[in-house]
Amino acid sequence: MIKSICMSMIFAASLVTIVFTGCSISSKENDSQSTGKILEQHAEKLQNQAEYNKINNSLLMPLWAEDSHVNLEASGKDISTPDWVKSLIIVEVNIATASSDKTFYGMPKVLDHLAEMGVNGIWLTPINEKPHYGNYGIHTLNHELTGTDDSSKQWAIVRNFVNEAHKRNIRVFFDVVSWGVTKQAPLYVDKPEWFSGPAKPEWNGWLWNWKNPELCEWFSSRLVEFALMTGADGIRCDCAPGYAGYEPYRTAKKRLLSFGRKVVFISEHPSERRGVFDFDQLSFMYDDGNTGTRFPCRIFMSKNIVDIIKSGEQLGSVDSQQRNDKINVNGGKERFYSFPLSCHDNRSPRPATNLIEFAYQALFSPFIPIWYLGEEWGNPYVVNGWSWPNPVNWDLRDSNREFFEQIKLMIRIRRQYSHIFEYFPSDHKNSNIAKIQTNHPELLQAYVRFLGNIAIIIVPNNSRTEQQFQITIPYAEMNFHGKNYTAEDLITGKLISSGTPETMLNFKASIPSGQLGIYKVMEKP
């Protein structure tokens, strides 16, 4: 069943030309009936092929633009954010495990993979002189990743990588460590007054003394230099707003703006933003009592997704989130929040290849999706401790091609209806999401994303068997006041129903176990 669904998903993706051996077929969004006939004619042939065609979302990627062509939009108190942030889908990558040769030279394959998915943000784990989340400081570059000890060549190699990413319409985010340096760092010998003492034993380093004004100025200056030399689109600030606080980043951000650079700053932990951070990597820091940095986020698998968004529960600074059994219910006031499906800090096996966890939680919800490379094909977790040294097994991408193609179709739908999925109001609680009532209240909450005269309904079947759903359309909540509407299955491209709000109050659909039903409701012209 899953295989046939996957084949149909690949084949019926609207607005895409799909080429099979010996035939070329163009399917348009409003051509549901002809698409259904084509599906029936070619389903058997498609299933018998040893190789089937692959979705390529690269042409749906938002175009990369120079900063001079980027608008800054208000996104909270005292902060303006580049307009492209609305479109972000971010994948975290460790060059040492993802690159074909463990250097920047082998990264084009990774960039091509992200472009094929439709991912327009790459977050690199630290590239400073090793070891990784320790390292020698922001002013250094890792000679193993660059393949050279020559400083000028190192910076040129990194800048070339950024240029290659931009050619593929991918924004690049670099990771900056703010807790200190490792014990072997020459900087500790040169500037001992910049340090306050030893870090945690497992970090094997020295903590910065952020009360030292000389250190703060040096750090801000080096951060500006780093962004200018690399052409970075964004900075992910490790441990922030802990340790360094806000001021060193605020200083760097202002200086970069004076150079015409509109660089995004992401804090690791939930922050108060304070005119510095555009959004947080771990918007959900606590997931059922688990620290978000340690476990893959599965909060919407146990809590009502619409209730959390509309209430702002567990969205806010670290101190306002779950502490001593107290849960923040007055958060969600900022514009941008992320859904951190996984990251380098995860210390437990990643989620199984589960479309609901992936798309229902991260891709279709009003959050910026973030995950660690390999989730999209179920890359196995084979290391103990942190995820960042976990090897990337590219061969498994093909052996688990069905799930990978499903993820790409989900991203394709998000990209095709960008006006809906990239709508971020100034107050996140006002997101364009509403509950969908079904005949299965015991299952996860179905929801609808809507804007204008189009709505996309997301119905998860998290039961162990295929289920028949009766899905009620909430016309009033979606501000739909037209006379006639159609309902279309976006997986198969087939028309399900049409009529007035009175005659098409609901429709029926069969959804396999572990799958999503995705339906478009649209007003007839």
Check whether 348 has a pLDDT greater than 50: yes
User: Residue 481's pLDDT is what?
Assistant: 94
143-193 tens-digit pLDDT: 999 999 999 999 999 999 999 999 999 999 999 999 999 999 999 999 999
User: Residue 31's pLDDT is what?
Assistant: 42
Closest to 208 measured CA to CA, from 223, 224, 188, 189: 188
User: Residue 187's pLDDT is what?
Assistant: 94
Check whether 5 has a pLDDT greater than 90: no
296 preceded by a cis bond (ω within 30 of 0): no
| Cβ neighbours for 380, distance < 8 A, ≥ 6 positions apart | 393, 396
Mean pLDDT calculated for residue range 489-503: 96
User: Residue 360's pLDDT is what?
Assistant: 97
User: Residue 388's pLDDT is what?
Assistant: 84
Q: Are 378 and 372 in contact (CB under 8 A)?
A: no
């364009």: which residue's tokens? 432
Mean pLDDT calculated for residue range 62-89: 95
Paired with 82 in beta bridges are: 72
User: Residue 68's pLDDT is what?
Assistant: 97
Mean pLDDT calculated for residue range 403-431: 97
Question: Phi-psi region for residue 325, left (φ > 0), alpha (ψ -120 to 50) or beta?
Answer: left
224-271 tens-digit pLDDT: 999 999 999 999 999 999 999 999 999 999 999 999 999 999 999 888
| Cβ neighbours for 482, distance < 8 A, ≥ 6 positions apart | 453, 501, 523, 524
Q: How far apart are CA 53 and CA 48, in angstroms?
A: 13
User: Residue 292's pLDDT is what?
Assistant: 56
Q: Are 407 and 364 in contact (CB under 8 A)?
A: no
Paired with 495 in beta bridges are: 488
Share of the chain above pLDDT 70, in %: 84
Handedness of CA 131, 133, 135, 140 (dihedral sign): positive
CA–chain centroid gap for 467, Å, is 29
Check whether 29 has a pLDDT greater than 50: no
Lowest mean pLDDT segment, chosen from 43-47, 309-313, 314-318, 395-399:
43-47
Higher pLDDT, 397 or 290: 397
Mean pLDDT calculated for residue range 46-54: 50
Tokens encoding 63: 């175009």
User: Residue 349's pLDDT is what?
Assistant: 59
Higher pLDDT, 8 or 315: 315
User: Residue 42's pLDDT is what?
Assistant: 43
Q: How far apart are CA 62 and CA 48, in angstroms?
A: 35
């990413």: which residue's tokens? 165
Higher pLDDT, 2 or 375: 375
451-485 tens-digit pLDDT: 999 999 999 999 999 999 999 999 999 999 999 99
Mean pLDDT calculated for residue range 488-504: 96
Closest to 292 measured CA to CA, from 308, 314, 277: 314
Higher pLDDT, 313 or 433: 433
- Host H or E run for residue 182: strand 180-182
Instruction: Please report which confidence band the pLDDT of residue 76 belongs to, taking 50, 70 and 90 as the band edges.
Output: confident
Lowest mean pLDDT segment, chosen from 16-20, 60-64, 99-103, 323-327:
16-20
Instruction: Please report which confidence band the pLDDT of residue 290 belongs to, taking 50, 70 and 90 as the band edges.
Output: low
Torsion of CA 179, 183, 184, 187, to 10 degrees: 50
Q: Are 404 and 470 in contact (CB under 8 A)?
A: no
User: Residue 256's pLDDT is what?
Assistant: 98
Question: Phi-psi region for residue 397, left (φ > 0), alpha (ψ -120 to 50) or beta?
Answer: alpha
Average pLDDT, the chain: 87
Check whether 37 has a pLDDT greater than 50: no
| Cβ neighbours for 168, distance < 8 A, ≥ 6 positions apart | 58, 61, 111, 112, 114, 115
Check whether 327 has a pLDDT greater than 80: no
